[in-house]
Amino acid sequence: MTTSHDNELVFVSGTSTGMGSATARELADRGYHVLAGVRSQADADAARGPRIEPVFLDVTNPEHIDALVARIADDPQGRKLVTLINNAGIAVNAPVETLPLEQWRRQFEVNLFGHIAVTQALLPFLHESRGRIVNISSLGGKVAMPTYGAYAGAKFALEAVSDALRRELAQHGVRVVVVEPGGVQTEMTGHGIERARQFVADMTPTQRQRYGGLMQAIINQATEFTAQGVTAEKAALVIAKAATVPKPRARYTVGRDAALMTRLARLLTDRTLDRLAAANLRPHMPKAAASA
C-alpha cells in the first residue's frame, strides 16, 4: 500500500545542480510536489519536470523569500508544505589569515543566515502541517580541516542552530534533522576548487610562501576526495530518507568518509586529530613544500 502525497508540498533550496537537483527528482518520483529553489532562468528550465516546479530563490534576498511564502500560501490546489530542505550553499577555502572578510561574511550569509531566514519564513506552514526541516550540513560541520575555516565555521554554526531548533520544536510536533555529507561528486566542490586556485593567485608573495604548498595540497586532496565520493543520486537517497521516514534520527551521514570521521571526532583528542589531518595531507603536498 502506497501513501498519496498529492496534497503535500516540499521545498528544496539550491536545486540547480548536485545533491539539491537529485533530491528534488527523488522526492518528485515519490509523489511529492517539489518547489525547487533556483537562481537563474536556465536553471529553472533544467529543473522543471513532472511534479517539480522551479521557484526563484536567492536565500539572501528577502524579496525572494517573501515571494516563496506567497506561493506556498496561495497554492492553487490547497496543498500543505510538509518539508523544508535547506540545501543551498557555497564553498570557499583559504587560510584564515588570507581570506578577505567580505568572503567570510558571504559564506555565513549563504550557508547560515540564509537558511535561518528561510526557516523563519516557512515555519508557520510547518507548524500547521506538523512537518519537518532537513538542514544539509557537512562533514565540515564536525571536523574543521586547514583552509576550511569559513566553510566549517558556518556549518558548525548550522549544526548548533539545528540542535537548538530541534529542541525548541519537538513539543510542537515539528522535527528537525541534519544530514552530513562527506565526499559527493557535485559541481559545488569543483567551483570551490576553482575559487581556491584564484585565492592562491591573489595572495601576496609572503602569504604564498606561507600557504601556497598547503593550498595546493588541499586542492589535490579535495579533487581526489570528490572523485572518490558518492554520487549526488546516492546522497539524495539519504536526504529523502531523512525527509520522509516516520521517526527520523537527529543526524544522518552520507558516505563512509563522513561516517568514519564523525566517529573519530568524538573519540580522538584534538592533538590526535591534528596529526591525522597532517598525515592525510602529506601525500598531496608539492614536493618542495613537503621536503621543506
> Is residue 277 within 8 Å of residue 147, measured between CB atoms?
no
Between helix 18-29 and helix 232-244 the angle, nearest 10°, is 50
* Burial of residue 207, with CB atoms counted within 10 A of its CB: 0-12 exposed, 13-18 middle, 19 or more buried: middle
Report the alpha-carbon distance of residue 160 to residue 155 in Å, rounded.
Answer: 9
Report the alpha-carbon distance of residue 192 to residue 188 in Å, rounded.
Answer: 6
Report the alpha-carbon distance of residue 165 to residue 133 in Å, rounded.
Answer: 9
In sequence order, which ranges of the chain are alpha helices (DSSP H)? 18-29, 41-47, 62-73, 101-108, 114-129, 149-169, 187-202, 205-227, 232-244, 256-267, 270-281, 287-291
CA distances from 71 to 54, 66, 91, 122, 164 (A): 11, 9, 29, 11, 28
Which residue has cell 519564513? 121
Report the alpha-carbon distance of residue 125 to residue 277 in Å, rounded.
Answer: 43
Catalytic, 151? Answer yes
* Catalytic hit among 32, 151, 211, 252: 151
- Contacts of the segment 38-44: beta carbons below 8 A, 24+ positions apart: 40/16, 43/15, 43/16, 43/17
Q: The dihedral of CA 215, 217, 223, 226: what is its sign?
A: negative
**Residues taking part in catalysis:** 151
